Amino acid sequence: MADGSPVTARFDPYAARAQFPILSRTVNGKPLVYLDSAASAQKPRAVIGTLTGAMEGSYANVHRGLHTLANETTEAFEAARESVARLLNAPAASNIVFTKGGTEAINLVASSFGQSIQPGDEIIVSEMEHHSNIVPWHLLRERRGAVLKWIPVLDDGSLDMAAYAGLLGPKTRMVAVTHMSNVLGTINPVAEITRLAHAAGARVLIDGCQGAVHARPDVQAIGCDFYVFTGHKLYGPTGIGALYGTAEALEALPPYQGGGEMIETVERERVTYASPPHRFEAGTPPILEAIGLGAAIDWLEGFDREAVLAHEHALYDHARARLEGVNWLRVIGEAEGKGAILTFTVDGAHAHDIAQVMDRYGVAVRAGLHCAEPLAKRFGLTSSARASFALYNTVEDADAFVDALIKAREFFA
């Protein structure tokens, strides 16, 4: 998209958009312009059809069944695990644990790893983290006496890496940071963050709920111990996510929940546990959701991911250029190489009001604290609005966003 064209030989956003039935609807008499994908992405026909097909044609509980439907469903479920491993460039499918989302994946690690936390042990997070990567560690502060330390965020929205290096020490047990900020769009240098943490003897967890969609994760290149993401931001269903862990890191974790599937043997006097990943998948898993996630990943792999990311960046740049010099707009987060998230405030208007007025024109943006209250306080905000671009958005969407934003500003001027 270097030539400014919305279509290239490598990626056609209009063809991609046509695969999303919901994007043909209208809102308040206007064509829907959906710019809330950072909260949850829409679903293509490939995912919808896979879910429907699984429910209509071949469904049963997975593993241990000896009948045809059980075998077919197990094959589809485990094929989805292979798809996740391929997405992340994990060494093997056994590195992948299915969870009900990114939040549960982080809680799994915090709860299991946290059993070894002693008073005074330190956990490092950043000021830009989503609450899902803050609150589980706070629970360890409350229950185990852990000490939370915070990596500062610079004015442009990037991490203060010099300050981070100074936070690491002999008591550091875990570093938990986001791959890509859901507010700022900042893409963090996670490989360097990991390298420094490992040199200090700490584990590393990367929150990839945005990064898995917009930052081409490669867990082997990053070198992290854990990487988590959620399916619903990756064009898949809700209620499904995944935890990647190195074989050594997963083997070191005690079980997170107890029940069927995660055991090896159960006796009156003792219980032995299954090896990862099944050790962490107690009970009937989110079977249909996992199959749907696998379909979303397989569908996404049909595109040139670099071309998709270039397209998303071009839309961000187009909207940003149209707003250049506007004196009533404050953009939050302009780090170099950031993802296609435009978070902003409008002078004289609350973000909630701006979002509601923009909705009158069919433009869907998010408003509030974006589950990142420490970051909001860092920038002196009580709320902000956010437009997030995805592969199905077009130049026309970016223009509609700017036009609606200008009209919303005029409404409150």
| CATH number of the domain encompassing residue 54 | 3.40.640.10
User: What letter does residue 255 receive in the DSSP assignment?
Assistant: P
Same domain for 320 and 294? no
Whole-number Å distance between alpha carbons of 292 and 165: 40
Same domain for 120 and 180? yes
> According to the model, what pLDDT value does residue 8 have?
65
> According to the model, what pLDDT value does residue 208 have?
98
Whole-number Å distance between alpha carbons of 287 and 301: 21
43 domain-assigned? no
| Residue finishing a domain among 300, 323, 343 | 300
37 domain-assigned? no
Query: Domain of 316: which CATH number?
Result: 3.90.1150.10
Give me the tens of pLDDT residue by residue for the chain, a chain 413 residues long: 344 446 666 899 999 999 999 999 999 999 999 999 999 999 999 999 999 999 999 999 999 878 999 999 999 999 999 999 999 999 999 999 999 999 999 999 999 999 999 999 999 999 999 999 999 999 999 999 999 999 999 999 999 999 999 999 999 999 999 999 999 999 999 999 999 999 999 999 999 999 999 999 999 999 999 999 999 999 999 999 999 999 999 999 999 999 999 999 999 999 999 999 999 999 999 999 999 999 999 999 999 999 999 999 999 999 999 999 999 999 999 999 999 999 999 999 999 999 999 999 999 999 999 999 999 999 999 999 999 999 999 999 999 999 999 999 999 88
User: pTM, whole model, 2 decimals?
Assistant: 0.96
Whole-number Å distance between alpha carbons of 256 and 283: 12
173 domain-assigned? yes
Strands lying side by side in the sheet with 366-368: 329-332, 341-346, 384-388, 366-368
Same domain for 316 and 408? yes
pLDDT in tens, 312-329: 999 999 999 999 999 999
Helix (H) or strand (E) holding 151: strand 147-151
165 domain-assigned? yes
Kindly report the backbone phi and psi dihedral angles of residue 116, in degrees, each rounded to the nearest multiple of 5, phi listed first.
-100, 0
The boundaries of the domain holding residue 318 are 13-31+304-412
Please say whether the beta carbons of 233 and 239 come within 8 A.
no
Q: Under DSSP, is residue 227 helix (H, G, I), strand (E, B) or coil? A: strand
> According to the model, what pLDDT value does residue 66 have?
87
38 domain-assigned? no
Same domain for 320 and 296? no
Same domain for 122 and 212? yes
Query: Before 277, cis peptide (omega within 30)?
Result: yes
Q: Where are the beta strands (DSSP E) in 186-308?
A: 203-207, 226-230, 241-245, 263-266, 271-273
| Residue finishing a domain among 300, 323, 350 | 300
> According to the model, what pLDDT value does residue 1 have?
38
> According to the model, what pLDDT value does residue 295 have?
98
Domain count, the chain: 2
Give the other-Cβ count within 10 Å of 18's Cβ. 14
Q: Which residues are catalytic?
A: 371
Same domain for 182 and 242? yes
Helices (H) and strands (E) counted in the chain, each on its own, are: 15, 17
Q: Which residues of 65-82 are buried (b: 16+ CB within 10 A; e: fewer)?
A: eeeeebebbbebbeebbe
Tokens 């879910």 belong to 51
399 domain-assigned? yes
Q: Which amino acid is at 105?
A: A
> According to the model, what pLDDT value does residue 3 have?
42
Give the other-Cβ count within 10 Å of 364's Cβ. 17
Please say whether the beta carbons of 184 and 178 come within 8 A.
no
pLDDT in tens, 332-366: 999 999 999 999 999 999 999 999 999 999 999 99
41 domain-assigned? no
Whole-number Å distance between alpha carbons of 361 and 365: 11
Tokens 């079980």 belong to 255
Whole-number Å distance between alpha carbons of 351 and 354: 5
Give the other-Cβ count within 10 Å of 347's Cβ. 12
- Comparing C-alpha atoms, which of 137, 208, 132 is closest to residue 372? 132
Please say whether the beta carbons of 165 and 406 come within 8 A.
no
> According to the model, what pLDDT value does residue 413 have?
80
User: What letter does residue 409 receive in the DSSP assignment?
Assistant: H
Please say whether the beta carbons of 369 and 376 come within 8 A.
yes
pLDDT in tens, 188-243: 999 999 999 999 999 999 999 999 999 999 999 999 999 999 999 999 999 999 99
Please say whether the beta carbons of 229 and 180 come within 8 A.
no
Q: How many angstroms separate the first and last alpha carbons of the chain?
A: 36
